[in-house]
Amino acid sequence: MKKYIRAPVVCAAAMYFLLPFLFACRSRTASVSSQPAAPPDFNGVWSAPFTPDISKPLGHQPPFTPYGAERFEKEDEIDDPLTQCLPIGPARGIQAGIMPFQIVQTPSVFAILFENQHTFRIINTDGRSHPKDADPTWFGDSIGKWEGDTLVVDTIGLNERTWLDTAGHEHSDQLHLTERFQKIDENSIKWTVTFEDSKFFTEPWSVTLPIARQNTNIMSYSCEENEKDRAHLRRAKK
């Protein structure tokens, strides 16, 4: 008389041998899916629209404090730090679209090389924090982190000697910048910058500008002590 092994017994035996394999595959799949995607490639030469007055893309004047409003009324282009060959600063360097900039991207650094005055900006993307005792500088201390296709940049430690634009919007050494560089496609970046400075503004405010890839190279540029244009500038405000 033949003996038959019941189907449940066969299935149980099969599962006994297959379970370790299934768990291993599941673990490997989870490990692969949990790995972060590589950030988009921003390398290249780029340019944003020339924005001499930052209030235009904002749609109105920034939310000035009384002190900030007073300073803005007194300033004019003759006082522009650029007329004295001083560095342009981080945000204005991007929106000064007459001159492009080059992005050089590595896993630990996102560098912006400005044609304007041949200056550069370093954004550290290696996970470090801001130094506790950062000395105020022209471009401040910038650290970045990736959020999908967007690089979020936090900048502090700026001195008060740059302007935000040509129109005379100033800031103090308490300025805090938050920028978002979002790669839209191979030739387009969406750049959003938030300005926070309790001495000049009652609340944070933001503008967004498109950045387009340029089929060119950045050129050598130098502003020297014998610059002649400043003498011909005239005050426009009354």
- DSSP string computed for 100-149: -EEEEE-SSEEEEEESGGG-EEEEE-SS----TTPPPBSS-EEEEEEETT
**Which residues, given as ranges, of the chain have pLDDT below 70?**
1-36, 225-238
∠ CA 193-199-201, nearest 5°, is 45
pLDDT on residue 76: 83
pLDDT on residue 31: 44
Q: What is the pTM of this model?
A: 0.81
Asked whether 192 and 206 are in contact (CB, 8 A), the reply is: yes
pLDDT on residue 30: 47
pLDDT on residue 83: 87
pLDDT on residue 227: 63
Query: Which backbone phi and psi does 11 adopt, to 5 degrees?
Result: -60, -40
Residue appearing with tokens 């991207």: 105
Asked whether 206 and 193 are in contact (CB, 8 A), the reply is: yes
Rounded to whole angstroms, the Cα distance separating 170 from 75 reads 9
pLDDT on residue 221: 85
pLDDT on residue 196: 98
